Structure 1
Amino acid sequence: MAALSLSVSIERFPLKVPFVIARGAKTHATVVAVSLSDGQATGRGECTPYARYGETPEGVAQAIEALQHVPGALSSRYSLAHSMPPGAARNALDCALWDFEAKSSGVPAAERLGLAPLAGVDTCFTLSLDSPEAMARAAQAAQVHTLLKLKLGGDGDIARMAAVRQTRPDARLVADANEAWSEDMLAPFLAAAAEAGFELVEQPLPAGADALLARVPRPVPVCADESVHTSADIAALKDRYDAVNIKLDKAGGLTEALTMRAVARDTGLKVMVGSMVATSLAVAPAFLAAQGADWVDLDGPLLLATDRDPPLHFEGGKLRPASPRLWG
């Protein structure tokens, strides 16, 4: 591959309403966008730096810019994987390389992966952490979505789960505690989730304190998120978790995300494919990894007041394949 020119930018996209989880609230999606070009074809990628993993937009942008001075690092996705650790920076570059390969060859990424034709996927619609009454109102307002994901935060979560279930008896429900439960909360809160008919609970305990999951009954399947980043993490999780949440920003790109999906299946774990709060440019490659997933959580563009042009297309709660002009 000829040497590619690289451009990097930090961009902010306002949200429709504040997005609240156990660790705090945000009013904008702050992303790092990358373009790789040979003068004829241009590939694009996007990542969302995450403070939970020690990332900042400025640090990620600097790491990406520094890589252009490493000989051969951008010559292929495989060279990239050996030149940069997993994380948001590598994700943006890996996805930009996938897009560049598709646009320069005329062969879509989905076809290269043997995934064509792509099928639409039902995605979660996320309800921000709030009072039980407010979350029930948000669930009622989201009637078009039949798969809801509740952000939880510890105290009050039993009431939150019950209130949303009472309001939406028709909906499929999953919960995401973002490491907010204590060991004493685990058993009664999982029992309450089962009573309310939840399909899945994500990361109830802190990543460094999740060994308890191997010793207690799990009446609802439990999914690793903060506890799993790459395929190398999966083997150690088998006795603690029933599923893994694969996110390109954690894995370091679509390439590793696809490996994670295969390893999780081989290990007997179910798969959720998710993303950070991001634009359609970040979700488009994750959509490929989401083909055949047990749960999909790719509603980030629905939370934005403005998005990329062209954006991804949603029909109710179903996400459709991206336009080639967007990515891939």
Structure 2
Amino acid sequence: MGAFTLHYQPYTLSLKHIFTVASFSRSTTPVLLIKLSYEGLTGYGEASMPPYLGESQDSVIRFLQKVDLSSFQSPFQTADILQYIDDLSPQDTAAKASLDIALHDLLGKIMEQPYYKIWGLNPENIPPTSFTIGIDTEAAILKKVAEAHDFKILKVKLGLDSDRMIINTIRSVTNVPICADVNQGWKIKEQALDMAHWLHEQNVLFLEQPMPKEQIDDNAWLTEHSPIPTIADEACQRYADILALKDVYSGINIKLMKCTGMREAKKMIELAQGLNMKVMLGCMTETSCAISAATQLAPLADWVDLDGALLIDNDPYQGITVENGICKLTDTPGIGLTILP
């Protein structure tokens, strides 16, 4: 690869609790950790592969084996490098994100600045991050809510017959605002609207992907009539998806693993804001590497859900911290990562 060297290793994240959403449950997440080096400096990246992305450690390795950066003379050829990487395949977004994150981390280290400063962003503008509570029993939900006592917003997974039980259980112990992530679990628009009105009364801030992404007209009807905003998640993967989502949803959820990384995420934020759409910055189950990368963009978001590293018990890095529910950026160059011994 000429002046660049690339190393990677498979790693499996262990979740503190079994994680259940409307369509599946899991207790681990496969990831690939990468290192991109140039002239003595190293940038760190990560590909996280939850089931619905359709990627695996093997597929990411196969993608990385195709990458040849020998024709690029400098990491500052960022646009050309990332366009070359994107052109290698039509999918593989998590694999591409790992390289994008590592490249931004490397560039920040070369410039000796954290990336949010390079972009001119103010860390005081970061909204509180939500803490995610998966679908579970009443007793387990109460335990998870107790663990999240420092957080100002809870994100709750819905989409099954237990929806009202989950919300009522949380409301029995706390009145903090809730974000409802339905993961396409509701199928009938009238029932979805009934739930939207009820959830509005329960101090729920918005509905994330309330119905299947294929039900475009139903989602648009719900958005028009709902008392709370709707946010596209599964329906919004990359920059090219956004324009068609105008008037179908109130906003979009941007995740680095879906959109190929930091560069495209920033472009997506700017386009969504230009269309007067809300922006949520989210994550998968990830280490502090990908979470710290996403947090560089957090001052631009209306809502953030960057708790992925808090849900695991074997994080190999120290990155951004969360204090009283707020993600705290540092002056550490790049994405602000330290390797744990």
TM-score with structure 1 setting the length: 0.91
Q: 1:175 aligns with which of 180, 185, 190?
A: 180
SS in 1 for 2:27: strand
Rounded Cα–Cα distance in structure 2 between residues aligned with 1:318 and 1:188: 32
Q: Deviations over 1:64-107 (max 9, x none)?
A: 22112785499533222243246111111011111111112323
Q: Deviations over 1:129-167 (max 9, x none)?
A: 113454244324422222100011322212322332232
1:49 aligned partner: 49
The worse-fitting range, judged by mean Cα deviation, of 132-141 and 104-113 is 132-141
1:229 aligned partner: 237
2:260 aligned partner: 252
* Contact 2:280/2:303, CA 8 A, preserved across alignment: yes
Matched, 1:102 2:108: yes
User: Mapping of 1:140-219 within 5 angstroms?
Assistant: 140-169=146-175, 171-183=176-188, 185-216=191-222, 217-219=225-227
* Contact 1:48/1:249, CA 8 A, preserved across alignment: yes
1:5 aligned partner: 5
Pair 1:119–1:242, CA change in 2 (3 A): closer
| Deviation (angstroms), 1:14 | 1.5
SS in 2 for 1:36: strand
Rounded Cα–Cα distance in structure 1 between residues aligned with 2:333 and 2:108: 11
Rounded Cα–Cα distance in structure 1 between residues aligned with 2:52 and 2:237: 12
Counterpart of 1:183, as a letter, is: I
* Contact 2:123/2:328, CA 8 A, preserved across alignment: no
Give the unaligned 5+ runs of structure 1.
none
Matched, 1:301 2:309: yes
Counterpart of 2:202, as a letter, is: A
* Contact 1:310/1:326, CA 8 A, preserved across alignment: no
SS in 1 for 2:12: strand
SS in 1 for 2:258: helix
Matched, 1:279 2:281: no
| Deviation (angstroms), 1:186 | 1.3
Give the unaligned 5+ runs of structure 2.
337-341
Q: Deviations over 1:195-241 (max 9, x none)?
A: 21200110011111232122231111110000001121111111111
The worse-fitting range, judged by mean Cα deviation, of 318-327 and 177-186 is 318-327
The worse-fitting range, judged by mean Cα deviation, of 112-121 and 244-253 is 112-121
* Contact 2:21/2:134, CA 8 A, preserved across alignment: yes
SS in 1 for 2:294: helix
User: Mapping of 1:33-44 within 5 angstroms?
Assistant: 33-44=33-44
* Contact 1:279/1:308, CA 8 A, preserved across alignment: yes
| Deviation (angstroms), 1:2 | 6.2
2:339 aligned partner: none
* Contact 1:91/1:252, CA 8 A, preserved across alignment: yes
Matched, 1:81 2:83: yes
Rounded Cα–Cα distance in structure 2 between residues aligned with 1:145 and 1:327: 23
SS in 2 for 1:107: coil
Q: 2:98 aligns with which of 50, 71, 92?
A: 92
1:64 aligned partner: 64
Rounded Cα–Cα distance in structure 1 between residues aligned with 2:163 and 2:138: 8
* Contact 2:269/2:300, CA 8 A, preserved across alignment: no
Rounded Cα–Cα distance in structure 1 between residues aligned with 2:121 and 2:27: 35
Pair 1:7–1:158, CA change in 2 (3 A): same
* Contact 1:311/1:326, CA 8 A, preserved across alignment: no
* Contact 1:153/1:181, CA 8 A, preserved across alignment: yes
> Could you say what the CA RMSD is over the residues aligned between the two structures, in angstroms?
2.4
Counterpart of 1:77, as a letter, is: T
SS in 1 for 2:26: strand
Identical amino acids, percent of aligned pairs: 31
Counterpart of 2:260, as a letter, is: G
SS in 1 for 2:284: coil
* Contact 2:112/2:334, CA 8 A, preserved across alignment: no
SS in 2 for 1:208: coil
Rounded Cα–Cα distance in structure 1 between residues aligned with 2:127 and 2:287: 17
Rounded Cα–Cα distance in structure 1 between residues aligned with 2:266 and 2:235: 18
The alignment of Structure 1 onto Structure 2 pairs a total of residues equal to 327
The worse-fitting range, judged by mean Cα deviation, of 84-93 and 137-146 is 137-146
Q: 2:133 aligns with which of 122, 127, 132?
A: 127
TM-score with structure 2 setting the length: 0.88
SS in 1 for 2:170: helix
The worse-fitting range, judged by mean Cα deviation, of 261-270 and 79-88 is 79-88
2:22 aligned partner: 22
